[in-house]
Amino acid sequence: MANYYNKDLYKILNLNFDATLDEIKQSYRKLVREYHPDVAGENADINKFKEIQEAYEVLTNEENRKKYDVLHGFYREKIRKQEESVRKNKYEEYIKKAKINANTQENFTKSINSALDNLFHSGKGSSKTTEPKRIIHGQDININISISCFEALNGTNRKVNILHTQPCPNCEGRKFINGSQCSMCNGSGQLSLQKKINVKIPKGVSQGSKVRIKKEGNKGLNGGKDGDLYLIVDIEKNPYFNIEGNDILCNLPITPFEAVLGAEVSIPVFGEKITVKIPSMTSSGQKLKLSGLGIENNNKTKKGDMIITVQIKLPEKLSEKEKALYNQLKELSKYNIRKDLNNAK
Ligand SMILES: [Zn+2]
C-alpha cells in the first residue's frame, strides 16, 4: 500500500474531503506560492512542498482519489451526502405538491404521508439512490498481546497495528455486481486499512483476560455497527512474580540474617511499594499470605491475595570478616539440624 494512505491529504491541502477539483487546484497554487523553494523566499520548505505535491497528485487523479476516499470512509460519506441532498430535494418537491393538492388539514396530512411512502418505499426499478441498503455489521477483531508481569500488575500502554477491514461499499461485500466482478475491491468483497492505535491495558489484568477496545474492530456498512477490538492478554513468566487467578505469587529473596533476625522488606507492586514484615526465624520455602493484596475479580467484588514464598539467598561474595563471623557462628552452634534426617526410616 502506498505510504500516503496513512496521511491526511485533505488537511495537507487545507481542504475538506468534499472539495471540488477546482478547489483542489486553487489551494495547491496558493500553497506552492507559500512553500516552493523557487518562489517562497525564506519561508520555503522543500519537505512540506513535497508533501503538498504528493497530496495534489493523488487527489487530482480520479481513480487514486476514489481509492483513498474509500479507505478513509470519505467515499461513503460523500455518497451519503449526495443521497441526502437528493432525498431532501425530493422531499421538498413532494411537500410543495402536497400543499398545492391539499385543501384541508386532513387532506394535507394524507397527501404528505403518501408522498413519503413513495419516497422511501419506491418499488424495484427505481433509481439507485432510493434502494434500501443492506446493513452490514463489522466483526470483532481478536489479537494476542504479551505483557510482563509488572505491566499486568501496574497497567501499561501499547501501540498495536491492526488490519481493519470493511465491506466494499461498491458491491456491499457481494463481490459481484450484475454478474461481473466488482472493480473497486477486485472481487474480494472487502477493503483493508492498516491502522496503528494506542491501547491502554488496565492494571490488574490476569492471564487470558480480554481487554475490550470499543469500535476498533472491523467497520460496518450502511449504518451497521463497527466491531470491537479484543486484546487477549498473555503474561510473560518472571522469576519473582507470577499471577494465578486473582492471586499474586511472589518469590521473595531474603538474606540468612534477615531469616534469623526478622526484617521489614519492601516489594514493588501496583506502582507502589508495599512493606512486608518477615518474622524472625523464617525458613526458606515458608509462605506468607497478605489477604486482599491480589487482583480484583472481573466484577470488582473480591480481591485475591498476595502469597509470598520466602527464599533464603546467599550473597555472591563474602568478605573475609563475614567469613570469620560465620566461622564463629559455626563454633558456637550446637544444634543438630539433621537429627530428624539421621533418624528417618
Ligand atoms: Zn466490491
Q: Could you tell me if residue 338 is inside a domain?
A: no
Q: Quote the pLDDT of residue 101.
A: 53
Q: Quote the pLDDT of residue 122.
A: 45
Dist. CA 218–CA 220, nearest whole Å: 7
Q: Quote the pLDDT of residue 114.
A: 54
Q: Could you tell me if residue 118 is inside a domain?
A: yes
Rounded to the nearest angstrom, the distance between the alpha carbon of 285 and the centre of ligand 1 is: 64
Rounded to the nearest angstrom, the distance between the alpha carbon of 171 and the centre of ligand 1 is: 4
Is pLDDT above 70 for 330?
yes
Dist. CA 129–CA 245, nearest whole Å: 55
Distances (CA, A) of 86 to 79, 80, 83, 90, 252: 11, 10, 5, 6, 72
Is pLDDT above 60 for 235?
yes
Has this prediction a pTM greater than 0.75?
Answer: no
pLDDT tens digits for range 100-150: 554 444 555 555 555 555 555 444 444 444 556 788 899 999 999 999 988
Rounded to the nearest angstrom, the distance between the alpha carbon of 68 and the centre of ligand 1 is: 15
Rounded to the nearest angstrom, the distance between the alpha carbon of 167 and the centre of ligand 1 is: 8
Last residue in a domain, options 176, 211, 235: 235
Structural domain range at position 88: 76-130
Rounded to the nearest angstrom, the distance between the alpha carbon of 29 and the centre of ligand 1 is: 35
Rounded to the nearest angstrom, the distance between the alpha carbon of 177 and the centre of ligand 1 is: 8
Rounded to the nearest angstrom, the distance between the alpha carbon of 126 and the centre of ligand 1 is: 22
Whether residues 119 and 162 fall in one domain: no
Q: Could you tell me if residue 333 is inside a domain?
A: no
CATH of the domain at 271: 2.60.260.20
Q: Could you tell me if residue 327 is inside a domain?
A: no
Q: Could you tell me if residue 268 is inside a domain?
A: yes
Whether residues 169 and 254 fall in one domain: no
Rounded to the nearest angstrom, the distance between the alpha carbon of 7 and the centre of ligand 1 is: 24
pLDDT tens digits for range 17-51: 889 999 999 999 999 888 988 888 888 888 889 99
The DSSP H or E segment spanning 115 is helix 105-120
- Based on the structure, what is the number of domains in the chain? 4
Exposed e or buried b per residue across 41-52, where buried means at least 16 C-beta atoms within 10 angstroms of its C-beta: eeeeeeebbebb
